[in-house]
Every structure is written in structure tokens, then in C-alpha cells.
Amino acid sequence: MHSWTDTLRFAFQPVVNLRTGAVTALETLARPETGDVLAEARRDPELDGRLTVLALRAAAHKETLLPLHLNVFAATLADLGGLTPLHDAVRAAGRLPWEVTLDIVPPYTHVPQRALLEAVASLREQGFRISADGIGDGDVPLRLLTDLSPDLVKLDASLLARPAAVRAMRTLCEELGALVAVEGVETELQCAAALAAGAQLAQGELFAPPARIPAADVYVPPLAPGAVTAPRSGPSVREFVRPAAVLPLTASAGQVRALLTGSPDVSGVLLADPFGRPVRSVHRSRFLLSMSGRYGHALYADRPAFKLGDAPRTVGVDATAWEVLDVVAVGGRDRTSDDVAVLDGHGRCVGVVRLADLVRALAESRVEEAAGLNPLTRLPGSDTIVGEVARRISAGRAFALSWLDIDHFKQVNDGAGFAAGDELIRAVGSALQRAVAGHARVGHIGGDDFLVLADEEALDPLVAAVLDASWTAGGRSVTLSLATVVCGPGSVSDHHQAAAQLAPLKKAAKELNGASWVLGRAGFPGHEVRRGGPGPAPAQAGYATAEPRW
């Protein structure tokens, strides 16, 4: 008599890091040749639990290094209170629980939420990682998603047509400490949209279709210039995480050598305790050099590998790329090529980062940043401000957007010369940077015009630095005009609306005498004059009011 397992096969699809192009994990997918065992498993928790164990065993036969993703229905976890047989199967396969991510699959309707959360807590205690699958196309309640606090959120590719929703999910995931992946990516346009919306991982036919043998190579479209904008503090280390080659702390040097010689792409091995916390780091070149020396194999092969390792270099999962470089810079030069282990909140290794990936990405971000700098002030242009405005709007954060310029600047150039005008612009730009250092973004958008994006409470130091100061050019006294629009959450939908709200405020500021400041609030009529004398400014030849054009 035939069993349903006789016609069940498994396929593997890589999960790809969009920044590095590396395969970070393999998802194991059940592929029955006849019947619909998946529909049956959806109704039968015991069957679904057995499928998950079979998927683990199938993956273990094909792959020993990459982390694994296994699917399980939400109702199965709630009904069974976890997956006790899976823990035993993982150990029997020579893997560790923290190398396995459970993709919790919809539907969630009618699933007892308390039972589901208790099951997830139990799995986490065992070391498993949790992914919320099918977001955007499934029925997971937002409150339940936050209560699950997954390590990874998988979005359906259909959400890419709604980039604001993806950006909002990225913001939520940053609060939860989760990564964002997009499933079902089929075109380069979808890949570019996923990157632009902030996704770190993706999977789909574009990269590699599900296959009976795990894909050795995947296709990842090259990053377009400016496709990923790094924050000022540097890109997150999460964007560069590669799978770690991990062996137990008790592994022998011979076992490490077998792993390294059989996996030429592995640059090092981490030796971890039973909880997944790295204790020693074995560098490929130094280890193999020791083993290949005279009597090296005879001396070390059967001895513990940790004697040939070093203390691991580690960073937290929330570190930036620049913080990783700080870690690499400490110690001898012979360790600059060592992988850096990335640890979660429990000290467990979630992967490694390579120095080459970081240097390449940081160099690219610096080139892109330099290309957008104004050559006179070395300040970024409007694109930087526009990007930050978009991020604040999608995150539901309030912000104050200010436009500052020099009054009657044409007369400064005509009377004092362009060199004096350039020196004045540089001085104003420097004053703005000093006034808001670490609290705002300053952009020089051309001529004598500057944009400042800040929180409302940062405005007073800005005003004191640029409006209360005395400015001269060629011996002539010069004044500045400042217009500010404060945008509360939901008051504007994009930077175009913010610019439209700012335009009349700038005009009002220019109509005042002396150093002036006008402040308005998006969605509210009128404005407040905080600096400047009453009455129109005296007409001057060559003066014209400029509207925001960014």
C-alpha cells in the first residue's frame, strides 16, 4: 500500500540578500507529485507537523551550511503547542535550532491567538527563529504581527505596487528588530522597487526558481546608482549578513579542515557553544597554513580546533557598517580579513559580514554622496532632503522644513563681487551645519538658497545662529530670510505638498524688513511672524521672489 510520502518531493528556493547578492538561506517547499497533501495538512495539524520534519530532513541531505526556512501553518502551532519532533530532528540532522527559521503561514482567521503566541514563545526558547509569511496577501492582524515580534517579515510581491505600504512595514520592522523580505519577485523592476522601499531580502523566479537541487548561483540585478540611500550613520550591518559556517566548540581540527576544503567559498568557521554563541573564530588561510606545515596534520587533525582559533570579532545585529569597521580596526593587521560575527540579543550568531562587502558599499555610498554635493559649500542638494522627508512621512513623524536665503543677493554680487558672494554663501552654510549638527539635515539647493529639515524643537538654535548673527559682504550689512512649515503626522502626503505649503511662507518672509522668520503649520491657515519688521521690504532693482522648485 502506497503512502502519501511516496509521491512527496521537496524543492529548494534561495533567499537572497539584495545588497550583497549572496544566498542567505534556503526555503524548503513541499511538492507532491499527486494529490493535494498541502490542503490536507492545512486541516490536519499532525500531518502538517510531519511535513515540517520531512522538509528539514530533505534539506539536511542537500545542504549543511546555509540556514533553512521551513513552512508551518499558524493553526498547526496553535493546536500542537509547538513542534517537539522538529527539535529532535534538527539535532539528529547535525544542525542547531537557531539555524532554522519557521515561516508561519496564513490563514490566521479562527486561530487562537494566545495559543499561537505561547507556541511561538516555546519555539524561541528552543532557539528557532520566527518569520511571518504572506504579509500583504494573507489575513494576519496587525496587532498579532507586532505581538509575534518576528525575526523576519515576508511580504507578497503584490505590495510593491503600493510602495508606501512597504515603507511603512519597513518602519514597523525596524521597531520590532525584524528584517523585510519580498516573496515572488519575478522582474528586475520588482527587484528595484523592493530595494527602493527598503527590503533587505527577496526570493522569486528572478533570482532562482525552486529546484530539486539547491541553486549554486543566483541572478541579482546590479544595483543602480542611488538605488539604496544610506543613512548618515552608515548602512545597517543587517544588509550585509552572510550565512556563517558554524561547528560545535568540540569540533576537531580535522572536521574544520574537511568543511573548508569542501566549501571553497567559506572564508572562516565559527566554533559555537550549544546555545549558538560563538566562542572561537577559525580563519581559513591561517588555519590551512598551520595544517599544511610540516607535521601540521599529524599534530592537529585529532585535536580540538579551538586551539587554532582566535577570539571572535563580533557586533550586534543593530550595528552600522561603520561600527563594524571600528571592530576590524582593533587588533593586529593579520586579522583585518577575518569575518565579523553578527549576534542577536541573546548573543547567538545570525551570520557574518565580510570586510570586502562593507568597503565596497561604503565606497559606493560616498561616491554617490560626493556626486550630489554642492561644490561651493560641500553640502548635499535637494535629493537628500527629499529622501529624508519621504522617510519621515512614511514613518508618521512630525518635521519642520525650512527655506533660508540671503536677501537681495544679486546686489551683493553686483556691489561686492562674486568672490565675496561665494564667501558669504560658504559662511552661511557653515553656520547652518554647526547650529544643527546631529539634529537636522542641511541642503544647499543652489545659489543662495538652503533647505533645513529638523524637529521643531531644533529651530531655536538654528535661528540664533543665522538670524541673530551679523552678516556682511564687502563691507555691506546683509540680512537673511527664513520660512518654516511644521508638518504634523498625516498633514502632507509627500515632499511636493510640503514644498507647496512652504512657498507662500517664503514669500511672506521676503516681504518683511530686516532679518525675518515666518512659521506656518501644514493644514492650518495663516502664519506667525517671529522675526522681521512690519511693512514691505524696500523695492530693489534686480530683486525677484523665488518659489520653491525642489
Looking at 368-475, which runs of residues are DSSP E strands? Answer: 399-406, 440-446, 449-454, 471-473
304: cis peptide before it, omega within 30°?
Answer: no
Distance CA 144, CA 389 (A): 30
For residues 309 and 296, what is the distance between their CA atoms, to the nearest angstrom?
15
Phi-psi group of 276: left, alpha or beta (phi > 0 → left; psi -120 to 50 → alpha; rest → beta): left
Q: What is the DSSP string of 269-328?
A: EEEE-TTS-EEEEEEHHHHHHHHHSTTHHHHHTTSBGGGG-BPPPEEETT-BHHHHHHHH
DSSP 22-35: -EEEEEEEEEESSS
Instruction: Look at the alpha carbons of 57, 92, 66, 27 in this order and tell me if their dihedral is positive or negative.
Output: positive
Q: Are strands 340-343 and 314-316 parallel, antiparallel or unpaired?
A: parallel
* Three-class SS state of 201: strand
What's residue 379's pLDDT?
78
C-alpha cell at 172: 514597523
Q: Up-side HSE of residue 37: CA atoms within 13 Å toward CB?
A: 21
Calculated CA dihedral for residues 184, 187, 190, 196, nearest 10 degrees: 120
Cβ-contact 101, 129 below 8 angstroms: yes
What is the full per-residue pLDDT of the chain (550 aa) written as tens digits? Answer: 456 566 788 999 999 988 778 888 999 998 887 778 888 888 999 999 999 999 999 988 887 678 899 999 999 999 998 898 998 999 888 888 888 999 999 999 899 999 999 999 999 988 899 999 999 988 899 999 999 999 999 999 999 988 888 888 888 988 888 889 999 999 988 998 888 888 889 999 999 999 888 876 788 887 654 444 444 445 778 778 888 888 899 888 888 888 888 888 888 999 998 888 899 999 988 888 877 766 555 566 678 888 888 889 898 887 877 778 777 766 666 777 888 999 887 888 888 888 878 777 666 555 444 445 566 666 777 777 887 888 788 777 889 999 989 888 888 878 888 888 888 888 888 888 777 665 678 888 878 888 888 888 888 888 888 888 888 887 888 889 999 999 998 899 888 899 899 999 999 999 898 889 999 999 898 899 998 877 554 444 333 334 444 5
| Residue 71 phi, psi dihedral angles, 5° rounding | -90, 140
Residue 202 sits at φ, ψ, to 5 deg, of -160, 160
CA distance 94 to 101: 16
d(CA 167, CA 496): 18
The answer to whether the CB of 273 falls within 8 A of the CB of 345 is no
Q: Is the dihedral of CA 182, 186, 190, 192 positive or negative?
A: positive
Helices and strands, counts by H and E, the chain: 18, 22
The model's pTM is 0.57
Which amino acid is present at 381? G
Q: Give the E-state strand segments of 356-427 in sequence order.
A: 399-406
3-state secondary structure string across 463-523: HHHHCCCCEEECCEEECEEEEEEEECCCCCCCHHHHHHHHHHHHHHHHCCEEEEEEEEECC
Per-residue model confidence (pLDDT) at position 545: 38
With vertex at residue 25, the alpha carbon angle to CA 321 and CA 76, rounded to the nearest 5 degrees, is: 120
What CA–CA distance (Å, rounded) separates 455 from 400?
Answer: 6
233 half-sphere exposure, CB direction, 13 A CA radius: 9
* Residues paired with 531 in a beta bridge: 517
